[in-house]
Amino acid sequence: MVNRNLIILPLLAALFLFAGKVFAGDAPPMSEEEFSKAKQIYFDRCAGCHGTLRKGATGPSLTTDKTQAIPVQALETLLSEGTPGGMPPWKNILSKQDITLVAKYLQNEPPQPPQWGLEDMRKSWKVYVPVEKRPVNPPNGGTNWQNFFGVILRNAGKVAIIDGDTKKIVTTLDTGYAVHILRTSATGRYMYSIGRDGKATLIDLWASPPNIVAEIKTGFDARSIDTSKFAGSDHMDKHDGDSFNYLDRYAIVGDYWPSHYVIMKGDTLEPLKVVSTLGYTYDTNEYLPEARVAAIVASHSKPEWVVNIKEAGVVLLVDYSKLENGTITETRIDAERFLHDGGWDSTKRYFMVAANMRNKVAVIDTVERKLVALVDTGNKPHPGRGANWDDPKYGPVWATTHLGEGKISVIGTDPIRHSRYSWRVVRELQTAGNGLFVKTHPKSNNIWADNTLSKDLKDAQTITVFDKNNIDAGPTNIKLTDKGKIVHLEYNKAGDEVWISVWDNDGEIIVIDDKTRQIKNRIKGLVTPTGKFNVYNTMLDIY
Ligand code: DHE
């Protein structure tokens, strides 16, 4: 049965948009207190998709020429019910009063947030445990620390470190507001968290128990963090007699606001360089007062990061090999607008990134240093880092889920031995509903995907799995929970378990045996677990 709202809401908005063009309204008055409360709600819940200045990205622009054309009541209905394009129904999260506040706020001009420069960062920078006071060896006693998982407890502002062998929570750390993702250093010793509030936190996994050794505020709004993973090579500059390497040397954070990236020392988070990403769109050459840094990945074969600028549609290859004397070199590659998330292909030469508002995946060749292809996918691709496997018919492939429909698009990634399949969708796999993440492992026969954004709650509580060697047999959908939603998948170091989050205030991690596809463990008592990152798979970018 078609959900009535899916028809009424867009019609309502279109009707008011038309009507409003004739009777464009003014900004409704708001008290200072109301404006400040609505500003925080917008920052927490809306800015990620619609932009700090409301110019749009994963979600449409919400500038006042548009929002004043829609009466407050219609805005309230849209906010309450959500939209088919992926905006959740806020009635389940915000009160009616708060929804009204946000509706009014959207009809007022957005405030210009402050800047945040190197001096501000330096003042916020704290080292809790100096490097010389940290363990010089990994924990002993058989602790398989490279099979630890960092698990984000989103609404609790914490990260749990869970032992992948024992399934025990080793410790829970206060990393701050709405942590978004975790990454590790190249050796896996350090784990880095980035919160939506721009705070980066450095966790020492060799401490017993792991502890926070440094933190810094890099801006007001951030989503990505990574580290330097190039081990260097003989021809590199010689420093102190041995070949210069970059393992654990640097960390980089990409901010949404201000629009910049920040390079720090990897073992202390001391800020070294801030680089603005403001500029022009690659296609229309209009100036962008907001050019947010989306996904960042670290090259394993060069001293460089791949840094994606969302609104500009530009991919930067940032060379850090001369950072010692203050120099970074950027190669700017025009790709496609509204770049979001992405990951390496199986060779770690090609970077696959979703331009989700343009329904495309951009393929960047980091050897030839150019855009190789723009692949048409389904409605709003959203891969996380995506998933790589060897398809029996198409050879090496990479896959993405979609925010706007229940489908996995599978893209050929081997331009040498499978050139006729490369850089185009070779399979479309139906899942149970709109998803966020897809995952597999080189040792697994399975491809797993969540259905987190499905309009039907039972589908959002379901995991979808395909057999790589019998994909045409279609999906197996397994309902895993009666509470919350299923989100994000991660393998353990051995590649024989899949860890899946039940995103709920009384959440848990469900551990599935990858061979039998049966539930092995439930790690309970976790507040809104979302992303989780296995140390070994994250340091080596195994996905
Ligand atoms: Fe994410 C990855 C941005 C909402 C959980 N998310 C990313 C990346 C970006 C991004 C740019 C890639 C980072 C990288 O690889 O360097 N996410 C955004 C948004 O702008 C958006 C749409 C809205 C917002 O305001 O943040 C958004 N993200 C969410 C969520 O609602 C999720 C499900 C839960 C949460 O934290 O609020 C969520 N995003 C994640 C996770 C990853 C991620 C777990 C990393 C996946 C991985 O395996 O690498």
pLDDT digits (tens, 9 = 90+) for 273-330: 999 999 999 999 999 989 999 999 999 999 999 999 999 999 999 999 999 989 999 9
132's CB contacts (< 8 A; 6+ apart) are none
Judged by DSSP in three states, 14 sits in helix
Q: Is residue 27 part of a domain?
A: yes
**Beta strands across the sheet bearing 446-450:** 438-439, 446-450, 462-467, 476-479
Q: Is residue 372 part of a domain?
A: no
- pLDDT band with cut points at 50, 70 and 90 for residue 516: very high
Cα 223 to middle of ligand 1, angstroms:
7
- pLDDT band with cut points at 50, 70 and 90 for residue 93: confident
- pLDDT of the residue at 19: 47
351 vs 346: CA distance, rounded Å: 10
- pLDDT band with cut points at 50, 70 and 90 for residue 242: very low
Cα 175 to middle of ligand 1, angstroms:
17
Pocket probe mutation, ligand 1, options 292, 341, 450, max atoms within 8 Å of Cβ = 341
Cα 530 to middle of ligand 1, angstroms:
10
Paired tokens of 510 = 């469900």
- pLDDT band with cut points at 50, 70 and 90 for residue 236: very low
- pLDDT of the residue at 141: 76
Of the CA atoms within 13 Å of residue 101, those in its CB half-sphere come to 18
Ligand 1 atom closest to Cα of residue 293 = 11
- pLDDT of the residue at 215: 98
Q: Is residue 37 part of a domain?
A: yes
* Residues marked as catalytic: 46, 49-50, 87, 340, 382
Which residue blocks in 125-232 are alpha helix, DSSP H?
none
pLDDT at residue 86 tops 90: no
Pocket probe mutation, ligand 1, options 180, 184, 218, 352, max atoms within 8 Å of Cβ = 180
Ligand 1 atom closest to Cα of residue 296 = 16
- For ligand 1, residues with CB inside 6 Å are 48-49, 58, 154, 180-181, 223-224, 294-296, 340-341, 384-385, 436, 487-488, 530-531
- Pairing status of strand 126-127 against strand 169-174: unpaired
402-426 residue pLDDT tens = 999 999 999 999 999 999 999 999 9
Tell me the mean pLDDT in the region 52-61.
88
Pocket probe mutation, ligand 1, options 179, 181, 277, max atoms within 8 Å of Cβ = 181
Paired tokens of 451 = 């259905």
Ligand 1 atom closest to Cα of residue 532 = 44
Q: Is residue 12 part of a domain?
A: yes
Q: Is residue 99 part of a domain?
A: yes
pLDDT at residue 238 tops 60: no
Q: Is residue 8 part of a domain?
A: yes
Paired tokens of 243 = 């070949």
Cα 509 to middle of ligand 1, angstroms:
18
353-372 residue pLDDT tens = 999 999 999 999 999 999 99
Whether the upstream peptide bond of residue 392 has omega within 30° of 0, thus cis, is no
Cα 57 to middle of ligand 1, angstroms:
14
- pLDDT band with cut points at 50, 70 and 90 for residue 240: very low
- pLDDT of the residue at 56: 87
Average model confidence (pLDDT) across the chain: 92
Cα 181 to middle of ligand 1, angstroms:
7
Q: Are the CB atoms for 343 and 324 separated by under 8 Å?
A: no
- pLDDT of the residue at 137: 93
Tell me the mean pLDDT in the region 151-161.
96
- Pairing status of strand 462-467 against strand 446-450: antiparallel
- pLDDT band with cut points at 50, 70 and 90 for residue 87: confident
pLDDT at residue 454 tops 80: yes
Q: Are the CB atoms for 389 and 491 separated by under 8 Å?
A: no
Tell me the mean pLDDT in the region 235-249.
60
- pLDDT of the residue at 241: 39
The overall longest dimension of the chain from CA atoms, in Å, is: 74
Residue whose Cα lies nearest atom 10 of ligand 1: it is 223
292 vs 279: CA distance, rounded Å: 11
Residue whose Cα lies nearest atom 44 of ligand 1: it is 531
pLDDT at residue 7 tops 90: no
pLDDT at residue 104 tops 90: yes
Residue whose Cα lies nearest atom 7 of ligand 1: it is 341
Residue whose Cα lies nearest atom 41 of ligand 1: it is 531
What range does the domain containing 91 cover? 4-106
- pLDDT band with cut points at 50, 70 and 90 for residue 237: very low
Q: Is residue 38 part of a domain?
A: yes
pLDDT at residue 271 tops 90: yes
Pocket probe mutation, ligand 1, options 154, 223, 388, max atoms within 8 Å of Cβ = 223
At 40, which CATH number? 1.10.760.10
Q: Is residue 236 part of a domain?
A: no
Residue whose Cα lies nearest atom 15 of ligand 1: it is 295
533's CB contacts (< 8 A; 6+ apart) are 149, 150, 181, 182, 183, 184, 191, 490
Cα 195 to middle of ligand 1, angstroms:
11
Write down the pTM of the prediction: 0.90
Tell me the mean pLDDT in the region 109-119.
91
- pLDDT of the residue at 439: 98
Phi, psi of 501 (to 5 degrees): -90, 135
Residue whose Cα lies nearest atom 37 of ligand 1: it is 180
Q: Are the CB atoms for 487 and 530 separated by under 8 Å?
A: yes
pLDDT at residue 193 tops 80: yes
189 vs 207: CA distance, rounded Å: 10
Q: How many residues does the chain have?
A: 543
Domain total of the chain = 1
pLDDT at residue 3 tops 80: no
- pLDDT of the residue at 142: 73
Q: Are the CB atoms for 539 and 184 separated by under 8 Å?
A: yes
145 vs 195: CA distance, rounded Å: 24
Cβ neighbours around 419 below 10 Å, total = 11
